[in-house]
Amino acid sequence: MDYRFAARMRNAPESFLKKLFDVSSDPEIISFAGGLPDSNLIDVNGIKDSAAFVLDEEGREALQYTTTEGHLPLREYIAERYQKRLGISASADNIRIVNGSQQCLDIIGKIFIEKNDRIGIESPGYLGAIEAFSLYEPVIRSVEMNDSGPDLNAFAQLISDEKIKFFYGIPNFQNPTGRSYSKDTRKRIGDIISETDSLFYEDDAFGELAFNQVPRVPVNKYAPANVIICGSFSKTVAPGMRIGWIMAPREIISVFDAAKQAADLHSNYLCQKIMNHYLRNSDYDRHLKEVVSVYSRNCRLICDLLDDMADTGITHTSPEGGMFMTVNLPEGLSSMKLFEEGIRRGVAVLPGIPFYAGSGGEDMIRLNFSNTDEENIKEGMARLSGLLTDLSSF
């Protein structure tokens, strides 16, 4: 049978997301490759209590169809938290619940990108965004990341010369590097974008995972009419519930609603009601402190062990939050070779190649520090150290 798939599927990049989930499920491999939060930190009992309450008190409603917009009390909670925590104007009317923030990527791509449209992304950038947007066949322009965020001169030039539809970025503890935009960079991006018809897609999946728990001002603060902001409870509560959201200007939301309704009618209503009850009846901030305490300790340990490998020629980023960091490899050492040989030796890292819309990443790997305990970190990093030494000697 000759299956006549759409031409866009021939241009879709190979998915590394499936590979890293496969690696993460192998018990023989110590994996720094995935992007999973720590299962031990999921508040199973708290979520179970909320689920029992919802099913006992609101079960028939919770198990019925609902509106595309999402559960109003949950949207109100998100808006109130934006106002209180970040001091930005937010309304439930501008917020929609989605099936994890990954669905935002697909729907924004669907409603904005026509074939050969220009969009922008960080370099390196989130591989899930590159994969999602690529299905709609844009021309993706990249702006190099530094310790303060995207290169501002290159960003301004991209906006003025190519008039991109939108620029996708992760200002807080970026995936893959773990870097964060400086306050000045956030303001400058807001100033630049506000004078144009381009948008800034602000992915804030990791904003609540600051190790010092100090909120960072979003780009949205400086250019609300030009910023789409999305978030998720996957990294902080439970990824299996698939509860994320988008906040955008009303004109965008109305078009977003039409696309989402056509895609799935609405997100899981039962999980939305459970999430709302959980957030309003548990100490969410205390839970976040427990999560970041573990992630901070893991990150510091990996950074210390990487520093001990400095004689192999590697350097690394030093995140102040989130779940990821990157390691620059010594000259001539292939990240794909390291990935393939690492699997054989029982340690998994993610090669940098899928984080680049064009060429790049051959000399970089991403490490995840949220889903491995101290014992496995020490053993896994020892395996990585031996691997680096062996491969660098060739």
pLDDT value, residue 34: 87
Matching residue, tokens 């609603």: 257
> Tens digit of pLDDT for each residue in 302-317?
999 999 999 999 999 9
| In contact, 104 and 98? CB cutoff 8 Å | yes
DSSP SS3 for 144: strand
- Please give the C-alpha separations between residue 190 and each of 103, 221, 305, 381, in angstroms, as whole numbers: 25, 8, 38, 40
Structural domain boundaries in the chain: 13-42+285-392, 44-281
When the candidates are 3.30.390.10, 3.90.650.10, 3.40.190.10, 3.90.1150.10, the CATH number that belongs to 13-42+285-392 is: 3.90.1150.10
pLDDT tens column, 241-272 = 999 999 999 999 999 999 999 999 999 999 99
Residue 302's pLDDT is 98
State pTM to two decimals: 0.95
Q: Predicted confidence band at 96 (pLDDT cuts at 50, 70, 90)?
A: very high
Q: Which of 353, 306, 382, 394 is nearest to 127 (CA)?
A: 353
Tokens representing 305 are 């062990």
163: left (phi over 0), alpha (psi -120 to 50) or beta: left
pLDDT tens column, 156-211: 999 999 999 999 999 999 999 999 999 999 999 999 999 899 999 999 999 999 99
Reading phi first (left if > 0) and then psi (alpha if -120 to 50, else beta), residue 346 is in left
**197-225, pLDDT tens digit by residue?**
999 999 999 999 999 999 999 999 999 99
Question: May I ask the CATH architecture of the domain 44-281?
Answer: 3-Layer(aba) Sandwich (3.40)
- Give residue-wise pLDDT tens across range 317-360: 999 999 999 999 998 999 999 999 999 999 999 999 999 998 89
